[in-house]
Structure 1
Amino acid sequence: MTTHVPCGIDFGTSNSTAAILGEDGAARLLALEGDSVVLPSTLFFSFEDQQIRFGRAAVDAYVEGVEGRLMRSLKSVLGSSTMAEKTTIKARRWSFSEIIGLYLKQVKARAEAAAGRSFNSVVLGRPVHFVDGDEEADGRAQGELEAIARKAGFSAVAFQFEPIAAALDYERRVQREELAVIVDLGGGTSDFAIVRVSPKRREASDRRADILASTGIHIGGTDFDRLLSLKTVMPELGYRTLARDGRRDLPNWAYFELATWHRINFLYAQQTDTKLKGLRQDAARPELVDRLMAVISERQGHALAGEVEAAKIALSAEERFRLHFPLPDADLDLEVARTDLVAAIGQSVAGIEGALAGCLKQAGVGAEAISSVFVTGGSASIPYVRGRLTGLFPQASVVQGDVFGSVGAGLALDAARKYGPT
């Protein structure tokens, strides 16, 4: 692999893609796991063969019961205090920068193998806000990701907002000038941009004047998982049940940790067992806390979170989903309805609506001026979320992008413009 070309990498909270510009001028997503161009942003540290698995192979090993440690939703820790912490895996203490670096280096290697070329230059996608309302933490998050990318082998690292990248991908198909709102509903954030697009404008190297606004909010698909879990599953483990004195609810710390993908592993610390025993002693219904303790002692937190995510996905197409999760004494067996999902995420979706309305205000245009709404990102598959957001633009046409690939393709287009062939 002697030819160097720039690439685009969409390192996502739940899934990642990589792309380059082909000889025909079109972006090409690269196969990262078998024939799939999507690699789940997941690692598994096996304690049995000491190997580190990535993507679906990581999830498969975990589901098959291989002893080890699953790590997921790592993008969510960028810019947070968690980045300063270390986590013990087997006998070694790992920083989160090291763990994210392992994954990003793997994406780079797989992308290079698929392209038959090496990559020195990259444009990485980033949310409009890594951290809401904290510019210092937001800048720190980008700096952390840049340092990780350089350590992974990239000598030149640039960034592009994810909704702008999606706009570049959308622009390839437009036949006339449009004022488009880009709605990118990801695993960790929801991001928006209002952009003028046209066949003529896409040839320009400087597009700053065409970007009327870009905003975002740190709410995404993993937040919907957490909220659905807290509403439907965690009460079966004792969440929001009374303490023994009958005057207050049980402390909720363990339930919030267990419902949050990137916090689950912290429950596997030695001191957790003592705290859970105290929680059980304090509970009016200790048999429910026994379920909680079983999930944690058996290290089944991610498996349970996976079932909640499966329920969320299924409820995009069906009205009801049967969630069954085996436990030693009393299995979890409950029906989850689409109305449960809507009730759980309604307030968060209102927050996303507010951020989108803020994007319009920032652009200085009314909803009637928008001619098209380009929708991408995994959470766009939830009918309730999609309907609430696209309903803000009743006169616009709705265009569905590649749910997982639009941002990566746009980043490759941006990389070609920023770097050119090298």
Structure 2
Amino acid sequence: MSDSILAIDFGTSNSLVGAFHNGKTHLALPVDPKAADPSMMRTLLYFPNPDLCYYGSEAIQQYIEQDMEGRLFRSFKSHLPNQNYLGTVLDNRILTLESMVGIFLLELKKRAEKALGTTVERAVIGRPARYSMDPVADGFALHRMEKAAAWAGFKDVQFVPEPLAAAFDYRKEIKEEKIVLIGDFGGGTSDFTLIKLRPDGFDKKDVLAIDGCPMAGDALDSVFMSHKLNEYFGAKSRYRLPMSSNVLSMPVTITQRLNHPAHIVHLKEKDTYEFIREVRKSSLTGKDKESIDRLFALIEDQQIFPFFERIEKTKRDLSANAETDFDFDYPGIEVAEKFTAQQFIDWAQTTREKIFESLDQCLQSAGVTSDQVELVCITGGTAKVPFIQKEFEKRFGQAKLQTQSHFHSVLGGLVESAAFWGHGQKVT
């Protein structure tokens, strides 16, 4: 047993681990040797059967090699605030969400311990400013994370807001005290911190406000499904049940799952799947049946992950181009569409508004105007989306904006938080 402390950036899309060990900070431990960046592990679990699990890059590799049989889970962090989502079933084995997160955290812990050569029972774990806009759901999500961390074998855990951690990392780049806004855009959440940063030292009073919302990269991906692509998979299918004259359309509960990368995998669960089968049998037209057959192919042939990877590529393409072609040519799921950057902007309007409402709330809570903010640092993959950047430029001016992508910013700050803790000072 050692006095070491792990720093874990558990993300919706990617996860990283650092440490405070033997009095020194260790940034970005090699937790995924098969990844292009070994310090970054995709937040993925793949169960070819209930007794075996693969993680990160190996999860994708094994998923492909095993003909996409079994269950692949992505974006499962986004379920944390949902009190109606308890978990899933693998064959006849119940897998709760807490144990799903715990399994992943335990694997990160084991790999970090191997790199450090010691066992570790303390951890600083990043958390979004808000898992949910509902305070009860937000508290419920944090409680689940506490249970998952305990499941993974951690005996003492501090949860540090991710934008605050990013602020610690950006502090290295300033030479005098400034009021700084940090925007951290991940797969599941958009988080903001207003803080007085200075080159050395930290006081809790320096944190002026923290806010955020549970919308970011995945929410932007989902607009392509909700506005267009879901109709290829039965979202607009109509049906009439036997002995009834009522014409019905696919229930919202099904289409909502269909639209989101974290939720669509659960269409495979028995009761939901059987319901969709009944809808197909009762479909009004051949076209309605065809779209549901396409949904069955997407689910049964394990094409959900590659389909949403193609959507994410479309989002990236539209960040650099005025239009792009979406082509998915798997047999039985042939989809061809053309998307424009303007469509993306229009469809993402609600998501964009909610993200910047949380920024406005952060400024208001701090009693700070945009003119008083001296430096704006935005990080994370979604920060690269042009209409996100332009909104920041409009509010704060281009001169204040620092937009280089620091995928390790949150981790760097969590490692610094671990060092604070190691020296007897807690951050939160």
Alignment of 1:250-399 (within 5 A): 250-280=250-280, 281-284=282-285, 285-286=287-288, 287-329=290-332, 331-394=334-397, 396-399=399-402
- Distance change in 2, residues 1:296/1:173 (3 Å): same
Q: Distance in 2 between matches of 1:283 and 1:120?
A: 59
Q: Distance in 1 between matches of 2:250 and 2:81?
A: 31
Deviation, 1:234, is 1.0
- TM-score between the two structures when normalised by the length of structure 2: 0.89
- Distance change in 2, residues 1:421/1:185 (3 Å): same
Structure 1 letter corresponding to 2:254: A
1:213 to 209, 215, 219: 209
Match of 1:97 in 2: 98
Structure 2 letter corresponding to 1:18: V
- The answer to whether the Cα contact below 8 Å between 1:72 and 1:262 also exists between their aligned partners in 2 is yes
Q: Distance in 2 between matches of 1:362 and 1:355?
A: 10
Structure 2 letter corresponding to 1:182: I
Q: Distance in 2 between matches of 1:23 and 1:317?
A: 45
2:62 is the alignment partner of 1:61: yes
Deviation, 1:26, is 5.8
Deviation, 1:21, is 4.3
2:114 is the alignment partner of 1:113: yes
Structure 2 letter corresponding to 1:228: F
- The answer to whether the Cα contact below 8 Å between 1:180 and 1:194 also exists between their aligned partners in 2 is yes
Runs of 5+ unmatched residues, structure 1: none
- TM-score between the two structures when normalised by the length of structure 1: 0.90
Instruction: Provide Cα deviations, 1:140-196, integer angstroms capped at 9, x if missing partner.
Output: 221221121122122210111111000000001211211100001111111101101
Match of 2:131 in 1: 130
- The answer to whether the Cα contact below 8 Å between 2:29 and 2:112 also exists between their aligned partners in 1 is yes
SS at match of 2:215: coil
Q: Distance in 1 between matches of 2:413 and 2:156?
A: 18
Match of 2:422 in 1: 419
Instruction: Provide Cα deviations, 1:366-417, integer angstroms capped at 9, x if missing partner.
Output: 1111111111122112122222234311165212354421111101101111
- The answer to whether the Cα contact below 8 Å between 1:41 and 1:73 also exists between their aligned partners in 2 is yes
- The answer to whether the Cα contact below 8 Å between 2:194 and 2:363 also exists between their aligned partners in 1 is yes
1:46 to 45, 48, 55: 48
Match of 1:76 in 2: 78
SS at match of 1:262: coil
Instruction: Provide Cα deviations, 1:279-301, integer angstroms capped at 9, x if missing partner.
Output: 33344432223322322333322
SS at match of 2:54: strand
- The answer to whether the Cα contact below 8 Å between 1:63 and 1:303 also exists between their aligned partners in 2 is no
- Distance change in 2, residues 1:62/1:163 (3 Å): same
- Distance change in 2, residues 1:353/1:140 (3 Å): same
- The answer to whether the Cα contact below 8 Å between 1:219 and 1:348 also exists between their aligned partners in 2 is yes
Instruction: Provide Cα deviations, 1:96-134, integer angstroms capped at 9, x if missing partner.
Output: 11111110001111122223343221111111111212x
- The answer to whether the Cα contact below 8 Å between 2:69 and 2:302 also exists between their aligned partners in 1 is no
- Distance change in 2, residues 1:247/1:98 (3 Å): closer
2:18 is the alignment partner of 1:19: yes
- Distance change in 2, residues 1:22/1:394 (3 Å): farther
Deviation, 1:37, is 1.1
- Distance change in 2, residues 1:150/1:271 (3 Å): closer
Instruction: Provide Cα deviations, 1:22-66, integer angstroms capped at 9, x if missing partner.
Output: 78966612121115211111100113x953110121123334424
- The answer to whether the Cα contact below 8 Å between 1:229 and 1:305 also exists between their aligned partners in 2 is no
Q: Distance in 2 between matches of 1:157 and 1:72?
A: 24
- The answer to whether the Cα contact below 8 Å between 1:213 and 1:360 also exists between their aligned partners in 2 is yes
Report sequence identity in percent.
Answer: 29
- The answer to whether the Cα contact below 8 Å between 1:283 and 1:289 also exists between their aligned partners in 2 is no
SS at match of 1:323: strand
SS at match of 2:88: strand
Q: Distance in 2 between matches of 1:216 and 1:136?
A: 15
Deviation, 1:241, is 5.9
Structure 2 letter corresponding to 1:20: A
Q: Distance in 2 between matches of 1:261 and 1:125?
A: 22
SS at match of 2:382: helix
SS at match of 2:133: coil
Structure 2 letter corresponding to 1:316: S
What is the aligned-residue RMSD (CA, Å)? 2.6
Structure 1 letter corresponding to 2:188: G
Q: Distance in 2 between matches of 1:396 and 1:209?
A: 27
Alignment of 1:96-245 (within 5 A): 96-133=97-134, 135-199=135-199, 202-204=200-202, 207-240=203-236
- Distance change in 2, residues 1:269/1:66 (3 Å): same
